[in-house]
Amino acid sequence: MREEGVFIRPEAMTMRPSPIEPGWIHRGTPVTRSGDHSAARDNFAWTSVWDCTRGTFEWHFDMDETVYILDGRVRVTDAYGSTHTLTAGSIGYFPAHTTWLWEVDHYVRKVAFLRREVPIGLRFATRLFSRLNLGKRVRSRPRDPDAPRFRRSTAALILMSLAL
């Protein structure tokens, strides 16, 4: 379990090829790469850096994604025809289960904050856990090095069993 922070300059990250599905490409031959930065303990959220060369393609978001543009420019168009231009310093949000047309004139690089949806069967327990604020209460107490570690997942399982 990670307990330390992660700090790196985007240009120093290891980037790997991350090709776009060929059927999604409308024009050009965009080359895309991505690099993982960090992930939440529950693996429902993570951060990565992604870049892309010139091309036009559709992107199907299967999870919520918030982006911060580091470099370059991209035009994004939703299913209703609304277009937004994102440049260095812009922030954009793409909801899960949506499709957007991306038009990259030259190059774009972004930080992506991705969040996977909580499965339907666990949403009640997650909301209950949040309302009870157990996570904050547990983390705000001074740690006793000899005490057993209390994990959020353990609390969620206990709450789920009580709800049944």
Residue-range domain boundaries for the chain? 10-115, 120-163
The matching CATH number, chosen from 2.60.120.10, 3.30.565.10, 3.30.2090.10, 2.60.120.380, for 10-115 is 2.60.120.10
**Cβ atoms of 15 and 49 closer than 8 Å:** yes
Residue 120: the pLDDT is 74
163 close to 128: Cβ distance less than 8 angstroms? yes
pLDDT digits (tens, 9 = 90+) for 90-105: 999 999 999 999 999 9
pTM, two decimal places: 0.73
Give the pLDDT confidence of 104-156 residue by residue, as tens digits: 999 999 999 999 887 777 767 777 776 776 555 555 555 555 555 555 556 55
Alpha carbons 128 and 68: distance in angstroms, whole number: 31
What lies within 8 Å, CB to CB, of 72 at 6+ separation is 51, 87, 88, 104, 106, 107, 108, 109
For residue range 3-20, what is the model confidence (pLDDT) as tens digits? 789 999 999 999 999 999
- Has residue 77 got a pLDDT over 70? yes
